[in-house]
Structure 1
Amino acid sequence: MYNTIIVPIELTHSERIQPMLSAARTLASENARIVLVSVVEDMPGYVASQIPSGVLAHQEKEVRDRLETIAGETGFRTDVSVRTGKPAREIIAAAKENDADLIVIASHRPGFGDFLIGSTAADVVRHAPCSVHVVREIG
């Protein structure tokens, strides 16, 4: 059983959230802590400079609020983290910072492009400092 579990949440793929949380619940110890992590990808500077001030902060607040709602439904001690950067790198950093025992991550069926450049889940599996449980998308 695992004590600290990182669950990366991609809010645009809400159908993946419950299967990941279910896997985390199954693998968690009685006093486990689950850390929900959502990563907002970096924007190039020339794009960010064109966005009105406050929009990015508002987006981060919306993401945090949605994560807080999900956290309230887990039944475990749950923390939330909204990070900015490359998803795989930030998920791995969150695992290191929280001294995680496990990362539960969703993965779609790999396509040809994934074999050339790799998916986020594949990068996390290759570079994680802890065990990784991949929840495969069905269908």
Structure 2
Amino acid sequence: MMMYNRILVPLDGSQNADKALDVALGVSKNFGCEIQLLSIVHHIHNDADSLSSKLYEGLSTNAHKIIEAARDRAWNKGLTIKGYVRDGNPKKEICEFAKENDADLIIMGKSGANAFDRLVLGSTTAYVIRNADTQVLVVNA
């Protein structure tokens, strides 16, 4: 049986991401895995100056709120988790973060909150499945 030590859960505020968090919390509770949460402030040109500072601040604030809400859910289940907010392209940031932080499993939602990304940039989940150096568990709400 495969044992997981560190699970990465990317969060974007969507129902599928919330369900992925529920699955990760269950795995952690049963097997004692560390959970790392990641929320990404996405900007298309990978340049924070390309967004108005007010819009960027709003996106960043929202990403931090998503992490805090997830921490509260974990705390209510008796678990402590680490949360991170990064700037960049979600597809690439998820794969890079997993590699940099030795995640041995990524649990993520089937699709996220941003329909624009799915239409123009392609599916973040599909990209992660193809490019991550670790196993990926896809959850549908």
| 1:122 aligned partner | 126
Is 1:83 matched up with 2:86? yes
Matched, 1:8 2:10: yes
Work out whether residues 92 and 128 of structure 1, in 8 Å CA contact, stay in contact via their aligned partners in 2.
Answer: yes
User: For residue 37 of structure 2, what is the aligned residue in structure 1?
Assistant: 36
Moved more, 28-37 or 118-127: 28-37
Change (3 A) 1:89 1:24: same
Go from structure 1 to structure 2 and tell me whether the alpha carbon gap of 1:55 and 1:132 turns closer, same or farther (over 3 Å shift): closer
Higher fraction of strand:
1
**Could you say which residue in structure 2 is the equivalent of 1:47?**
51
Q: Within 1, Cα distance between the matches of 2:122 and 2:59? A: 28
Q: In the alignment, is the contact (CA less than 8 A) between 1:63 and 1:82 conserved in 2?
A: no
Task: Give the partner amino acid of 2:4.
Answer: Y
- Between Structure 1 and Structure 2, whose CA radius of gyration is higher? 1
5+ residue gaps, structure 1:
none
Equivalent position amino acid for 1:122 in 2: A
Q: Which has the higher contact order (CA 8 A, sep 6+)?
A: 2
Question: SS in structure 1 opposite 2:24?
Answer: helix
CA-atom RMSD in angstroms:
3.4
Per-residue CA shift, 1:59-110, capped at 9, x if unaligned?
Answer: 55434433432342454341101111111111112211210100001113xx
Please give the alpha-carbon distance, in whole angstroms, between the structure 2 residues aligned to 1:9 and 1:85: 14
- TM-score, length basis structure 1: 0.73
Share of identical aligned residues, percent? 31
From 129, 136, 141, give the equivalent of 1:132: 136
In structure 2, do the counterparts of structure 1 residues 33 and 80 end up closer, same or farther at CA, with 3 Å as the change threshold?
Answer: same
Whether the 8 Å contact between 1:8 and 1:105 is mirrored in structure 2 is yes
For 1:59-78, list aligned pairs within 5 A: 59=62, 61-78=64-81
